[in-house]
Amino acid sequence: MPETPHAPTLIRTLPSWLLGRAAARGRALVAEALAEEGLRMWHHVVLAAASDHQPVAQAELARSVALDPKDVVGILNELEKDGYVRREPHPQDRRKNAVRLTPEGASLLARCADAAQRANDLLLEGFTARERADFLALLERAARL
């Protein structure tokens, strides 16, 4: 990530500014790691959500990742073209499409999860195991999860 000039003192002491900078660095590290697997960030998010909820209706998948349904359709089109997901009639409502990972999609998701974990390890290098656990707990509280 390119070096940026220091923000004014009154700004760089704000937790919101520091979180934003850390988040930007984390996103860049994860995006770079996923690119090595040939995947973009939102594709990884959609694959992970599909895995968690399958079979999942496209509209529900879009809600679960807080993306516009049209954007999810585009991502699913690309993932389906590459053989990572398939759409089929939903078992409970044949009017809806259900999304499932293919074996290739599950394999890609596992590799991407490993890549994302390595990137996050790099983000938090220098933290002890206890500091990481505390940091994650504090972030969850701040995010109100």
* 8 Å CB contact between 61 and 74: no
- Rg of the chain (C-alpha set): 18
Q: What is the pTM of this model?
A: 0.85
Segments making up each domain of the chain, as ranges: 25-143
Residuewise pLDDT in 10s, the chain (145 residues): 555 567 888 898 899 999 999 999 999 999 999 999 999 999 999 999 999 998 999 999 999 999 999 999 999 999 999 999 999 988 888 888 899 999 999 999 999 999 999 999 999 999 999 999 999 999 999 998 6
Contact between residue 67 and residue 83 where contact means Cβ atoms under 8 Å apart: no
Query: What topology does CATH give the domain 25-143?
Result: Arc Repressor Mutant, subunit A (1.10.10)
What local confidence, expressed as pLDDT, does residue 63 receive?
95
